[in-house]
Chains A and B, each alone.
Chain A
């Protein structure tokens, strides 16, 4: 795993893997959406239950991306692996998008199901905080120009935000919330197998989408850093050349 921390090795490895990842993602989405729209409707919610096939995977991905981001930051901080910080930095916009989609899809389900777009209950509020944490994290990378310093500050923010993840998970058990408790647990599922299959395929599709987008983003980041390093080298060469010519010109003008 750490062998891939070398950017050149990662570029080679991801270049081979990426087409397969994209094909698998598209295949899983096609299969998943077919299963979603052919799965039976919930007897109480009717067609509204189809919203949950994208809401639940979005929510899972928003949290999983944050955990991944924090772990990548720790790896970068402790072992100084060049790719770890890049992975963390690029996981944030993807996670933030899915956190926003979780909130929006939840609101659109909540209005007809609960009669309200939004309530400040523990689950909804903690997911909103997660979204804000993502925005803060992205802002750090944008504001701090020195990438090493930015990575250090980002690690602290990621660590602070990590406390929110178990709060999101257990909020429905610790407090009285409008949001229902988890339907999928280690002890079993409260979902009928005909619906569960579609949901699990959508979970897999979202996971593969995240991996594909993250790989493309890391490759972009490596190219960006390589281009920046080349520009800096060219700039240094130009400055050195200018200095030489100026010195030569001064020497020529000096009186004997």
Chain B
């Protein structure tokens, strides 16, 4: 174990929690945006189908 100061240790902990937050929020955001896109695409097609009938 390296002899680091408490501040340096805290920097590593902050970096980890920041990266995990970015990773989890990034993944969730990507999944939610994709979900909204597909829902909108399906609704548009269903609306077009209803108009054409």
* A112 near B17: Cβ-Cβ < 8 Å: no
* B42 near A213: Cβ-Cβ < 8 Å: no
Q: Which residue of A lies closest to B3 (CB)?
A: A112
Interface centre among B16, B20, B39, B46 (most CB of A within 10 A): B16
State which size class the interface on B falls in. 20 to 34
Q: A254 to nearest B CB, angstroms?
A: 31
Per-position 1/0 for A197-228, Cβ under 8 A of B: 00000000000010001001101100110110
* A223 near B42: Cβ-Cβ < 8 Å: yes
Chain A binding surface SS class: helix
CA distance A146 to B35 in the complex (A): 22
* A51 near B13: Cβ-Cβ < 8 Å: yes
Tell me the A52-87 residues at the B interface (CB within 8 Å): 54-55, 58
Q: B50 to nearest A CB, angstroms?
A: 12
CA distance A132 to B7 in the complex (A): 34
Please name all residues of chain B whose beta carbon is closer than 8 Å to the beta carbon of A209 when the two chains form the complex. 24
Q: 5 smallest A-B Cβ distances: which pairs?
A: A223-B38, A220-B35, A227-B42, A230-B45, A227-B41
